[in-house]
A and B are shown apart, each in its own frame.
Chain A
Amino acid sequence: NAGVTQTPKFRILKIGQSMTLQCTQDMNHNYMYWYRQDPGMGLKLIYYSVGAGITDKGEVPNGYNVSRSTTEDFPLRLELAAPSQTSVYFCASSLDTDGYTFGSGTRLTVV
């Protein structure tokens, strides 16, 4: 099992550009999540999904969008990138919320 795979691992964006962070899991988990982690801070939930076709906002959704067309994939879209979105982004999945499996993260810098 590959677990949770995130791409890319690193990315530099210019202000105003857009990009999609990819996340895929092969464990048939129904729940998936996107978090951001800022230096010295904990995790903040951006969006989550309880199953294909269902998404909901977390704590810090502004400036982001998600979709969940399949059980496996949960891409995160950044529109009009801003310096405040410089962060490390983690995707995670779980089965009935009993312990999360995290991806290795995407380090994004907006300049």
Chain B
Amino acid sequence: GDSVTQMEGPVTLSEEAFLTINCTYTATGYPSLFWYVQYPGEGLQLLLKATKADDKGSNKGFEATYRKETTSFHLEKGSVQVSDSAVYFCALLPMKTSYDKVIFGPGTSLSVIP
């Protein structure tokens, strides 16, 4: 069945470091791909999304490119801040033939230290 795999955390970085969180997926066809972020004590928020191959989603300095050939959607940011400390979830929505539901990865915890 469809699934999402993320790199295991926790990830600890110094402020202004480069961030990559790996995400790969298994799905038929062309699913939609998402990154959600969960700040401490809050619900998940949609960070960015991509709906077709080679699309790049971007928001708040974060980027991710939909790579069909490698079935990946890695999250990147050039310079992280302490305020980026959160849990990041990769997710996919299967190609829709009838109603279906988003599948979430297990999440990757990021801590950014000053």
Q: Is B69 an interface residue (CB 8 A)?
A: no
* Inter-chain contact total with CB atoms closer than 8 Å: 45
Residues 92-111 of A at the B interface (beta carbon under 8 Å): 92, 97-105
Q: Is A74 an interface residue (CB 8 A)?
A: no
Whether the pair B107, A100 counts as a contact (CB closer than 8 A) is no
Residues in B whose Cβ lies below 8 Å from that of A48: 101
Contact among B43, B93, B107 for A97, CB-based, below 8 A: B93
Residues 29-70 of A at the B interface (beta carbon under 8 Å): 31, 33, 41-43, 45, 48, 50, 58
Q: Is B26 an interface residue (CB 8 A)?
A: no
Q: Is B68 an interface residue (CB 8 A)?
A: no
Residues in B whose Cβ lies below 8 Å from that of A58: 101
Whether the pair B101, A45 counts as a contact (CB closer than 8 A) is yes
Complex Cα distance, B101 from A43, in Å, reads 12
Contact among A31, A42, A92 for B105, CB-based, below 8 A: A42
List chain A positions with a Cβ less than 8 A from chain B. Answer: 4, 31, 33, 41-43, 45, 48, 50, 58, 90, 92, 97-105
